[in-house]
Amino acid sequence: MRRSTFQVILILMLVASCGNITAGGSVVKGAGPDELLKLRAGPGLGYRVILGLPDGTTLNRHDCVTEVGQLWCRVSLTAASQITGYVSADYLSTR
């Protein structure tokens, strides 16, 4: 019983850590004029880069996870929903 209580508390903490990022539509913001936000194969810097996303790219956000103190969100491109990966939540803004 203690284990499932711990799991519920952990899940609630992870959901709360998403802060003001809401599920659904997001836009890449803050990568900079000459930089691209890296869409990665997994939630962390150690995963391969799938492609670079410029500021203004619209994304569908699916869920978020915390890895090594960093919040990563699984996203898909709005214009090409078959392209999915993870980006740092620091560079997402709600539409």
Q: pLDDT digit string (tens) for 8-54?
A: 343 333 333 444 444 579 999 999 889 999 999 999 999 999 999 99
CA distances from 58 to 4, 16, 70, 92 (A): 37, 24, 21, 9
pLDDT of residue 10: 36
Mean pLDDT of 44-70: 96
| CA–CA separation, 69 and 80 (whole Å) | 30
pLDDT of residue 32: 87
pLDDT of residue 23: 56
Cβ neighbours of 4 (radius 10 Å)? 8
Domain that includes residue 52, residue range = 2-94
Would you call 50 exposed, middle or buried from its count of C-beta atoms within 10 A (0-12, 13-18, 19+)? middle
pLDDT of residue 72: 98
Count how many domains the chain has: 1
Looking at residue 13, the DSSP 8-state letter turns out to be H
Write down the pTM of the prediction.
Answer: 0.74
CATH code for the domain of 49: 2.30.30.40
